[in-house]
Structure formats: structure tokens, C-alpha cells
């Protein structure tokens, strides 16, 4: 920019040094001819350049431009012949030797010097900025929000009345500390928001910023981490110093598990920079006084990996659980996300809320957006109930893979596989009701059997879990029963079934041989954690656990085989209908089972060509038989 400005100034100066003239430019031969004809009155000759400026006489009438003056260029040396000619024709002439002015003399030199000085000045300013950035590396990167920018409030957070009540208590303390001080109550120094991803922990923290009426400092756990050891601790000190200067303030640390992990855990010890950062945070929080009016709020979805010193009273006094939304919460969340969208009158949000158990707030937001996208693709100007159904299938099962072409034998195998899942789900007493069966490839699956829970479940009985295992094994057993051999399509079913049977034995005490004993999850949080700890049970107990897991799976496999054998006619009928229609609703499956089990010579035939498929507006959250083409090794 400075360089461009200097060039512009130089061009302006040069234009001032060479003012424009309206004199007529002629050749030297024309000039001599005009002198001989007596048309030249006066000339001025530059003795250095030979440049001639002249004025026409009154007798000259051939100038079409109307100018009284002319210019031309002669020889460097003025000859005696020309001098005698001027004298003979009475032409007044004079020689000039112009001297350049100060600006004209020094501008060619000053301009590059000025540009060079500006360049070095710019380089110095840039270097100072870089040094300033290095010196400020230990400063906190927290964003400060004041009362002038409240942004989100509790009204924007749908549902979670209990969570908002606990958080609002902290807001009330910061607004009216005297009311709590009268009875000797003090506000918690730290509140930890714990919940699955997508439940709105950060949104709740933003609502606190809007409701508190005090400065709100927001930072993420990764903002403390740098390649230099000690930078994170310096930023923690700067963060708390900034909060103390504000008097009353709320500090929010998102994803605190990135710096609050257990110290010294895992193979090779801990992370020096992270541990120093955590130590500094523990020190700062422990140094708080109740009257300081500074409250720390943190959010995480991994409380199991946090350091115990961080969770003790006096630091994070209170843990607030932000669970997956219940039915009423989901209904309120849907109301928030459909604001500003054109919704058709046939959309029943109560039905959508009942059909989405287990979905988080982020999942519901994605569901509404997918429904809007389906409406746009279909050319509709409003979102209809059918769009919500398509969006639910897209979210739960993945996009349909229309380009996947299965051979007739593969398609038949998938049809029997999904029919086995569907038949077990429809006949078992405690299994979740069947919602839909499809053999259209979706996502990574070649076919999907979806079930819809009738109600919210918080605990699971053993008979319900065993029925789920039977449903998972139904696809593999149907293939073996019909074709006499299994396939790789049951890979996902076997993996999930084995995991569930393992939890029944190791964690849930559902084995008579093992008894009321539990050893927790097998999953390790840190690399090498299992190597650094001893097992809670002996090798003999491990063999018993393996046998019990195998026994449970074998027992449910036997139940599944007996169930499918007794209902072989229904299995064949379901498979034929899937091959013909590709998708069958849960109600249609029940009707086909009744047709297959009805007495009479035509009991095994199908008369469903004109029945149509029953639409179900509920969403399925349990997809069994998500058969993938990958084989297990």
C-alpha cells in the first residue's frame, strides 16, 4: 500500500513539472518555411536541447487549430544561416538556458529513498508484531461476554427443567449474593455438566452467559495446550487473573477432559504439558474464596477419565447430569427447531417425539433439517409427515444405495435373513414391536429390520435382553435353516450379540454360575492401562466367563432355531413378500404371519398384492440385522 501511494505521488509531481500546452507541433522544415514566408513573429530557443517555441505573425492564416503558438525541435547548435534568416525576416529570437527547480532536481532521488525507508519501517512493525505474539503466548484465549451481548437465554433451551433449575441457582447467587449470605449458604465453586454428546451442554452454558448479568469467560480445553511446556499453566493463571479483576464472573471450560485427564495414566506415564496445566487449574480453583463471586462451569462427556482431584468438593462441588431428552423434552426441542420452517398440518410433532427415543437434541435438529431437505428435493414448499419419515430412515439407516446391484441369490439370502429377524421380533413376547423391514441397501447395510420401543426404557430385564439376542441371531439362523449354510451377512449381529452376552456375565450378574459378581467394562481408556493393572479375576474364572458367554449364546440360538422351524411357512411368506415389495411395515408382517398360520389349503399363499404397505409414523431406534457385505475374519 505504501509503495502504491509513493508511485501515485511521484506521477502527480511529474505531471506538475510538465504542464500541458495547447501549442501546435510542427516539423523543423515547416518552421523554416514559415520563417521564409514571414509567418513567424517570435521564437524562443533552448540552447541545451534545441527545443523551439514560437509565435505566429498576424499575416499567418493557415493554422486550422486556431493556436497562436507552435513548438518544434531544431539542431543542438544554432547555425549562422538560421541567424541571418531571422534577421532578414525580422523574427525576434532569443536563447534560454533553463535551470531545474528544487523539486525537479531532487524528486528522482527522493522517491526511491522514500520507498526504501517505508519498506524498512514496515518490516520493523511486522517484526515487532511477531515478537509481541511470542511474548503474549501465555495469555488466555478466553472470549469475554458481557451483559450487552446476552445472546442465548434459558428460554432458548427447550426441556431440561431440572438442569436449568440447578444452573439458575448459581445465576441467582451471582445476582443476589446477600440473600444466600443471610443464612450462611455459599454457591458451588464449580459445576460440571456431564452428558452424552449432542445433549446441549454448551448451549446451556451459553444460556447462563445470557442470564447471569455478569461477565462470562468462555474457553475450550484445547486452548490451553501448546507445543511449549508451561504455556497452558500460564494461560490458566491469566484466565483466573482476568476473572478476579472483573469481580463477579463465570468461567466456562468446554471439553475439560482434554486437560483434566488422570495424571500419570497409561503406557509411558502422562503428558507433561497437560499435567502442568491441570496442576495450575487445581491450584487456582482451590485458592478461591466464597465471597469472590467466581464460579467455574465445565462440560464433558467423559467424566470417567477426569482426575479425582478435579472432582472433589471445593473444586467441582456439583455434577449436573444432562441426559438424553425424555418425551416431553423432545417435544419442546422439536418446537424450537421447527420455528421459521413451513410445516404442513399433517405433521404431528407428538408422534415424531414419541418415535424418536434415544435421540439427542442435536439428532432432533438434524432430523428436522433432513426433513426440510427431503421436501426441497421433492419439489414441495412445505414439510410433510412423509418427509419426516424419510428423514428418520435417512438418519437411522443411512442413505439408500440405489446403485448397489445384488445378484438374485444374494437378494434371496438377504430377504430370508431379514425375514428371520422380523419373524423373531414379531413373535417374541418382550421384544420391541416391529416397525419396518427392508432389503434396500442403506448406508453400510444390505438390509435392515427396525423395531420401535413402546416406551422409554431405563432398565432392561433379563428376559428382554435374551429376546433381543434371539432377534439378533434370527438372520443367521434363517439362512442356515433355508440354505443349510451361513454367510458373512451376520457379522454385525454376532459382534453386538457377543458384546451383550459378555455384559450379561461380566457386568449385570445374569449368570447363575458366576453369581452376583461384576468386573466392569473391558474397554480401556488409556493405552497400556490394562498392562499396568492386574486382573480382578483369575484365569480359571476367565475360562468360566467364556463358557457362560458361549452357553448364553447357544441357548438363545436354540430358541431361535425352534421358533423359526415352527413358523417356517411364515418365514417363506415374508421372504417372498420382501423379494416382491422390498419394504414391509410391521403391521404387514403381523398380517402375513396370521395368513401363514391360518388353517386351510391356501394358508401358505399370499394375497397381499393389493394390500399396500402400512405406513408408520413412529421412528425406529433399534435396527437389527444391519447386514454388511464385509466378512469377519
Residues 6+ apart with CB under 8 A from 592: 570, 573, 574, 577, 584, 606, 608
Residue 628 has a pLDDT of: 40
CATH number at residue 82: 3.30.720.210
Quick check: is 123 in a domain? no
Total count of residues recorded for the chain: 633
C-alpha cell at 158: 427447550
User: Do both 172 and 48 map to the same domain?
Assistant: no
User: Do both 225 and 168 map to the same domain?
Assistant: yes
Residue 606 has a pLDDT of: 39
* Nearest residue to 170 via CA among 154, 184, 186, 157: 186
CATH number at residue 570: 1.20.58.760
Quick check: is 473 in a domain? yes
* Nearest residue to 574 via CA among 594, 589, 554: 589
* Nearest residue to 278 via CA among 225, 356, 319: 225
Collapsing DSSP to helix, strand or coil, 542 comes out as helix
Quick check: is 468 in a domain? yes
Mark which of 286, 321, 356 sits at the end of a domain.
321
Q: What is the CA radius of gyration of the chain?
A: 43
- Report the distance separating Cα 586 and Cα 101, nearest Å: 99
Below-50 pLDDT ranges, the chain: 16, 131-138, 147-148, 267-270, 291, 524-528, 531-532, 602-633
User: Do both 190 and 45 map to the same domain?
Assistant: no
Q: Are 457 and 467 in contact (CB under 8 A)?
A: no
User: Do both 150 and 287 map to the same domain?
Assistant: yes
User: Could you give the residue numbers annotated as active site?
Assistant: 418
Mark which of 295, 321, 347 sits at the end of a domain.
321
User: Do both 248 and 266 map to the same domain?
Assistant: yes
Query: SS3 for 321-379, per residue?
Result: ECCCCCHHHHHHHHHHHCCCCCECCCCCHHHHHHCCCCCCHHHHHHHHHHHHHHHHHCC
User: Do both 535 and 617 map to the same domain?
Assistant: yes
Collapsing DSSP to helix, strand or coil, 51 comes out as strand
User: Do both 47 and 172 map to the same domain?
Assistant: no
Q: Are 300 and 257 in contact (CB under 8 A)?
A: yes
User: Do both 391 and 427 map to the same domain?
Assistant: no
CATH number at residue 375: 1.10.8.60
User: Do both 177 and 243 map to the same domain?
Assistant: yes
462 alpha carbon, distance to own chain's centre: 39
Quick check: is 113 in a domain? no
User: Do both 431 and 580 map to the same domain?
Assistant: yes
* Nearest residue to 261 via CA among 274, 273, 249: 274
User: Do both 80 and 163 map to the same domain?
Assistant: no
Quick check: is 108 in a domain? no
User: Do both 220 and 283 map to the same domain?
Assistant: yes
The CA distances from residue 624 to 412, 414, 416, 451, 496, in Å, are 18, 13, 14, 8, 9
Quick check: is 131 in a domain? no
* Nearest residue to 43 via CA among 10, 6, 9, 78: 78
Residue 267 has a pLDDT of: 46
CATH number at residue 190: 3.40.50.300
Find the helix packing angle between 568-581 and 586-597, rounded to 10°: 140
Domain range holding 506? Answer: 408-624
Quick check: is 110 in a domain? no
Q: Are 349 and 335 in contact (CB under 8 A)?
A: yes
Number of DSSP helices (H) and strands (E) in the chain, helices first: 20, 15
Helices (H), 355-461: 361-377, 385-397, 408-427
Quick check: is 562 in a domain? yes
The CA distances from residue 335 to 84, 234, 338, 341, 357, in Å, are 106, 44, 5, 10, 16
- Would strands 434-438 and 583-585 be described as parallel, antiparallel, or unpaired? antiparallel
Q: How many domains does the chain have?
A: 4
Q: Are 497 and 553 in contact (CB under 8 A)?
A: yes
Dihedral of CA atoms 608, 613, 616, 621 in degrees, nearest 10, equals: 90
Mark which of 271, 293, 321 sits at the end of a domain.
321
The CA distances from residue 356 to 197, 348, 447, 460, in Å, are 16, 13, 21, 19
* Nearest residue to 321 via CA among 424, 193, 495, 485: 193
Amino acid at each position: 500500500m505504501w509503495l502504491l501511494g509513493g508511485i501515485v505521488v511521484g506521477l502527480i509531481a511529474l505531471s506538475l513539472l510538465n504542464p500541458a500546452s495547447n501549442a501546435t507541433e510542427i516539423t523543423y522544415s515547416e518552421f523554416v518555411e514559415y520563417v521564409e514566408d514571414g509567418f513567424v513573429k517570435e521564437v524562443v530557443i533552448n540552447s541545451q536541447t534545441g527545443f523551439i517555441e514560437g509565435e505566429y505573425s498576424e499575416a499567418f492564416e493557415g493554422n486550422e487549430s486556431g493556436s497562436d503558438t507552435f513548438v518544434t525541435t531544431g539542431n543542438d547548435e544554432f547555425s549562422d544561416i538560421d541567424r541571418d534568416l531571422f534577421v532578414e525576416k525580422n523574427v525576434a529570437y532569443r536563447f534560454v538556458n533553463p535551470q531545474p527547480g528544487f523539486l525537479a532536481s531532487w524528486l528522482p532521488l527522493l522517491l526511491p529513498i522514500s520507498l526504501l525507508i517505508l519498506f524498512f519501517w514496515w518490516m520493523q512493525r511486522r517484526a515487532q508484531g511477531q515478537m509481541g505474539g511470542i511474548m503474549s503466548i501465555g495469555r488466555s484465549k478466553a472470549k469475554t461476554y458481557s451483559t450487552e451481548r446476552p445472546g442465548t437465554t434459558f428460554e432458548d433451551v427447550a426441556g431440561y427443567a431440572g438442569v436449568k433449575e440447578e444452573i439458575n441457582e448459581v445465576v441467582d447467587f451471582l445476582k443476589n449474593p446477600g440473600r444466600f449470605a443471610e443464612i450462611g449458604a455459599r454457591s458451588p465453586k464449580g459445576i460440571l455438566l456431564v452428558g452424552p454428546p449432542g445433549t446441549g451442554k454448551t448451549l446451556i452454558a451459553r444460556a447462563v452467559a445470557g442470564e447471569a448479568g455478569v461477565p462470562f469467560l468462555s474457553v475450550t480445553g484445547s486452548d490451553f495446550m501448546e507445543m511449549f511446556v508451561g504455556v497452558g499453566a500460564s494461560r490458566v493463571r491469566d484466565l483466573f487473573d482476568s476473572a478476579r479483576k472483573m469481580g463477579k464472573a463465570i468461567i466456562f471450560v468446554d471439553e475439560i477432559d482434554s486437560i483434566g485427564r488422570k495424571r500419570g495414566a497409561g503406557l509411558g506415564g502422562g503428558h507433561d504439558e497437560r499435567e502442568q496445566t491441570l496442576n495450575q487449574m487445581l491450584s487456582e480453583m482451590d485458592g478461591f474464596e466464597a465471597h469472590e463471586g467466581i464460579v467455574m462451569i465445565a462440560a464433558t462427556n467423559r467424566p470417567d477419565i477426569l482426575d479425582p482431584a478435579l472432582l472433589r468438593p471445593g473444586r467441582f462441588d456439583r455434577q449436573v447430569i444432562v441426559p438424553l431428552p425424555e418425551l416431553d423434552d423432545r417435544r419442546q426441542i422439536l418446537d424450537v427447531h421447527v420455528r421459521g420452517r413451513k410445516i404442513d398440518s399433517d405433521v404431528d410433532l407428538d408422534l415424531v417425539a414419541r418415535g424418536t427415543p434415544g435421540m439427542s437434541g442435536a439428532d432432533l435438529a438434524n432430523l428436522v433439517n433432513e426433513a426440510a431437505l427431503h421436501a426441497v428435493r421433492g419439489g414441495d414448499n412445505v414439510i410433510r409427515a412423509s418427509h419426516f419419515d424419510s428423514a428418520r430412515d435417512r438418519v437411522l439407516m443411512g442413505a439408500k444405495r440405489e446403485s448397489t446391484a445384488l445378484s438374485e441369490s444374494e437378494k434371496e439370502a438377504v430377504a430370508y435373513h431379514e425375514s428371520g429377524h422380523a419373524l423373531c421380533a414379531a413373535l417374541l413376547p418382550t421384544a420391541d414391536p416391529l416397525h419396518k423391514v427392508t432389503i434396500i441397501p442403506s448406508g453400510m447395510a444390505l438390509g435392515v429390520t427396525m423395531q420401535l420401543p413402546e416406551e422409554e426404557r431405563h432398565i432392561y430385564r433379563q428376559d428382554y435382553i435374551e429376546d433381543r439376542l434371539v432377534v439378533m441371531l434370527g438372520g443367521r439362523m434363517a439362512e442356515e435353516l433355508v440354505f443349510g449354510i451361513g454367510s458373512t451377512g451376520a457379522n454385525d449381529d454376532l459382534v453386538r450379540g457377543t458384546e451383550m452376552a459378555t455384559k450379561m456375565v461380566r457386568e449385570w450378574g445374569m449368570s447363575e454360575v458366576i453369581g452376583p459378581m461384576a468386573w466392569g467394562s473391558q474397554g480401556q481408556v488409556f493405552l497400556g492401562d490394562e498392562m499396568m493393572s492386574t486382573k480382578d479375576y483369575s484365569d480359571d474364572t476367565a475360562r468360566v466367563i467364556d463358557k457362560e458367554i458361549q452357553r448364553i449364546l447357544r441357548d438363545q440360538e436354540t430358541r431361535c432355531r425352534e421358533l423359526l422351524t415352527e413358523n417356517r411357512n411364515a418365514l417363506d411368506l415374508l421372504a417372498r413378500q420382501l423379494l416382491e415389495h422390498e419394504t414391509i411395515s410391521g403391521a404387514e408382517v403381523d398380517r402375513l404371519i396370521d395368513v401363514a398360520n391360518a388353517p386351510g389349503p391356501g394358508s401358505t399363499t399370499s394375497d397381499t398384492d393389493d394390500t399396500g404397505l402400512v405406513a408408520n409414523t413412529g421412528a425406529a431406534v433399534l435396527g437389527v440385522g444391519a447386514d454388511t457385505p464385509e466378512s469377519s475374519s
